[in-house]
Chains A and B, each alone.
Chain A
Amino acid sequence: MSSTSSRPRGHGRLNWAPYALLTPAVAILLAALAYPVGWQLYTSTLKFGLAQQFGQPADFIGLSNYTELLSDPQIWSVIGRSLLFCFINAVLTVTIGVALALLMQAVTKAVRITLQVGLLLAWAMPVVTSMTVWVWLFNWHFGLVNWFLTKLGLPFTNHNWLEQPSSFYAIATAIVVWMSVPFVAFSVYAGLTQVSTEVMEAAQLDGALGHRRFTQIVLPLIRPVLMIVLLLQIIWDLRVFTQIQLLQDAGAPTASTDLLGTYIYRLGVGSSNFGLAAAMSVFVLILTVLLSAPYVRSLLKEDVV
């Protein structure tokens, strides 16, 4: 079955049906995004601070915001950190997600539903809610984690997890992975259900075992799901914002823990330097597009999108 074949209908004349079908989606996207994105592009060429926000005329300064950004050494460390964070989180999330999906297949129905409910609970928690709980769990003085580690005899009495960027990122990673794995696990599990039992049993009869069965039969079949899920995780983890911001609010050093999202936010809303923040946003968009371009091209080639 080829989903996107040129089907006989509409053949030979201009087919307006797909355009009509796209109209509402395009309309809502234009309505909600055209002006903000346009404003952002325009503002990125202006000297636009709080005074301009309050109505004073803004000076056109061309690409000065961009050159100012790119000459700031801090931005490169923010970008480097963001890329690293994104890569680690995306890979961890997808790996754990696939493992859990395989686990769902391997267990009895009751256990599978238990596991699914456990994942769903995590998935269903609103971000503000789950961040509150996580911050409380890692509270330096009253937190459960320090209490538990201390009970194990480890020197974690009053340990402050948010002080060092490394442990800050470890916690951020735990939270982001905890939140994102359910989506991956369910998507991959749904993909796995496509692998029919006949195929698996045939493979079993052929003597294909364990990891060979996985790499040679299962993996190629769920490859489209995997590639898309990975792409989405990369996009989402690169623009992670709320979790980092709320962790910083809980008392982490901001400059050394900033990722792209919080950096833009502090430039703009925090320091009222909206021109610079807009330039930074545009730059991040370009960066993301460039970074993902090869991957997207291969997706297009394989016809999975």
Chain B
Amino acid sequence: MKRTKRAVALAAVATAAALALSACSSDNQPNPSDSPTAQNITLWLAGGDTPDSLRDWLKSEYNSRTGGVLTIEEQAWGDLVTKLTTSLPDANNTPDVVELGNTQSPTFTNVGAFSDISDLYTELGGANLLQSFVAAGAVDGKNYALPYYFGSRYMFYRKDIYAAAGVAQPTTLEEFNQAVLRLTQVNPNGIADFSGFFIGGQDWRNGISWIFANGGDLAQKENGQWVMTLSDPNTIKGLQQLQDIFQNASKAPSTAKDESPWLYINDSDSTTDKAADGTETDLPTSLAAATIMAPGWAHWSIGDLVTVDGKPARQWNDDVFGVFALPGADGQPAPVFAGGSNIGVSAASRNQEGARELLRIIFSADYQRMLGEQGLGPANSLYVDSLGSDQFAQALIASAANSKLTPAAPGWAGIEGSKLMEEFFSKIAQGGDVVALAAEYDDVLTPMLNQR
């Protein structure tokens, strides 16, 4: 009986030891990037916006220029901040180059996550680079993160419904606000919960266009400190217009974000609704909006339902669908939110040379043109013509012309992470008192803006 006890105890100790051993064994992997000439580097791309063909080109170009291997890893937007927060400070595990949202850029730039690349700035495009994005990656005149691509959002609309409701394509912001109200009231097809303009209540990224278009702003820097300006009269004016749209032109849920709005502008899918007596009717079941605001690539998901290679797909139809940039108060394109991302070199990276070489590749004329050909706004304005001249390119260029960014305050990413902007807009969408809400969120957000 003593033996069993000992056997059990020995087994226990042995397993603990085995575990301890296995915990140590994988520590000393050879680092393949020791050679300075051929550094193997890792690039984090956010989301799936960069097409595979561009990724492959980057890999082979990097390899032929340096002899090193470029590994590209895609990080989901929703988890990006978590991963940047843990990985970027960790020299052993940091990616060497990272793409991040332009609105996240000031925060990480301010805490010193990126290497100073001011010396490369002119070589990579200098003043030709999209300046609002450059500012989001600069501190005290030094450049840390640079624009990767821009993708301002514009309007997709149903020509047939506009025509049926007797509404013309709006040319000023005021006309737009009236047009979508009228579309909702007329509702020519008699669809339940029809939206003249479908915009989710939490969709602040599109919603702030109304603030900007009325000359308002989210925040300003005063005496070195950032202050929220939601209570500014111009901001309030924009928010009130937006509230009118939320309440009277959009039937989107007050909790909806900016995901997949194109679902609601497409016509009936393969199913039609059965009427109460069992007969099939031709009423579209999914059409729910006459206008949406979306990134340019949404046009791949908008159109008539066709069958390609035996699979259902969407095919754009110029007779039914159209695009335009949101007009401003003066008839020029409104300053909409400038969607897009920045790119920077991790300060903790041991492969600074390789990372800088990758930046040279990304900002090369070849790659900038490739971005444009894929519908992504190139960072360097010299190559914007690569977007082409079709209606999508025109709308993108027009919408980007006056586009604006969120405040370049150190705490902005924290505000986004806290989801307070979603909450603020959602409350406005639900009909809350705009002035009181603006004052309330000014107080809540201002301290967060300056938090490093």
Contacts and interface: CB of A to CB of B under 8 A. Distances in A.
A and B touch in the complex (CB under 8 A): yes
Interface of A: 9, 16-17, 20-24, 27-28, 31, 49-51, 53-56, 140-142, 157-158, 160, 162-163, 248-249, 251-255, 266, 269-273
Given A254-B418, A272-B417, 13 more contacts: A17-B9, A21-B8, A27-B16, A28-B16, A49-B452, A51-B110, A53-B111, A54-B113, A140-B253, A251-B257, A269-B82, A270-B418, A271-B448
Given A53-B85, A54-B113, A271 B12 contact: no
Given A158-B192, A163-B255, A51 B452 contact: yes
Contacts of B193: 157-158
B5 to A, nearest CB: 5
B251 interface: yes
B13 A160 contact: no
A20 B81 contact: no
B126 to A, nearest CB: 28
Contacts of B229: none
17 contacts: A17-B5, A22-B12, A24-B13, A31-B20, A50-B108, A51-B452, A140-B253, A140-B256, A141-B288, A162-B253, A163-B254, A269-B85, A270-B81, A270-B418, A271-B415, A272-B451, A273-B414
B417 A27 contact: no
B288 A271 contact: no
A20 B85 contact: no
Contact of A31 (B23, B417, B418): B23
A50 B9 contact: no
B202 A269 contact: no
A265 B414 CA distance: 12
A147 to B, nearest CB: 10
Given A54-B111, A157-B192, A255-B423, A272 B85 contact: yes
B283 to A, nearest CB: 14
A271 B16 contact: no
Contacts of B89: 53-55
B308 interface: no
A251 B255 contact: yes
B13 A50 contact: no
A253 B423 contact: yes
Contacts of A21: 8-9, 12
A158 B415 CA distance: 30
A31 B253 CA distance: 47
B48 interface: no
Contacts of A51: 110-112, 452
B418 A271 contact: yes
Contact of B12 (A9, A24, A266, A270): A24
B423 A50 contact: no
B426 interface: yes
Nearest to A266: B418
Contacts of B108: 50
A65 to B, nearest CB: 14
A269 B417 contact: yes
B417 A270 contact: yes
Interface string B81-125: 110010011000000000000000001101111000000000000
B19 A27 contact: yes
Given A140-B253, A270-B417, A49 B16 contact: no
Nearest to B78: A249
B418 A253 contact: no
B1 interface: yes
Q: What class of interface size applies to chain B in its complex with A?
A: 35 or more
A50 B85 contact: yes
B419 to A, nearest CB: 4
B15 interface: yes
A301 to B, nearest CB: 30
Contacts of B9: 16-17, 20-21
A251 B257 CA distance: 7
| Most chain B CB atoms below 10 A, which of A9, A31, A249, A255 | A255
B139 interface: no
A233 B426 CA distance: 34
Interface string B353-394: 000000000000000000000000000000000000000000
B15 A160 contact: no
A72 to B, nearest CB: 11
A55 to B, nearest CB: 6
A187 to B, nearest CB: 27
Contacts of B415: 271
Given A140-B253, A157-B192, A163-B254, A273 B451 contact: yes
B267 interface: no
B420 to A, nearest CB: 7
A23 B12 contact: yes
| Most chain B CB atoms below 10 A, which of A23, A249, A271 | A271
A223 to B, nearest CB: 32
Q: Which 4 pairs between the two chains have the least Cβ-Cβ distance?
A: A20-B9, A270-B417, A160-B253, A24-B16
A54 B419 contact: no
B422 interface: yes
A27 B111 contact: no
B255 A252 contact: yes
A158 B413 CA distance: 33
A213 B273 CA distance: 54
Contacts of A266: 417-419
A163 B253 contact: yes
Nearest to A256: B423
Nearest to A267: B418
Nearest to B82: A269
Given A17-B8, A157-B193, A271-B417, A253 B426 contact: yes
B81 A254 contact: no
A131 to B, nearest CB: 14
B251 A158 contact: yes
A288 B112 CA distance: 38
A16 B12 CA distance: 12
A50 B422 contact: no
Given A23-B13, A51-B111, A158-B192, A251 B417 contact: no
A248 to B, nearest CB: 8
Contacts of A252: 255
Contacts of B426: 253
Given A157-B193, A272-B85, A255 B251 contact: no
Given A24-B13, A249-B78, A49 B451 contact: yes
A43 to B, nearest CB: 14
Contact of B414 (A22, A28, A251, A270): A270
Nearest to B419: A254
Interface string B1-25: 1000100111011011001100100
A21 B6 CA distance: 10
B255 A50 contact: no
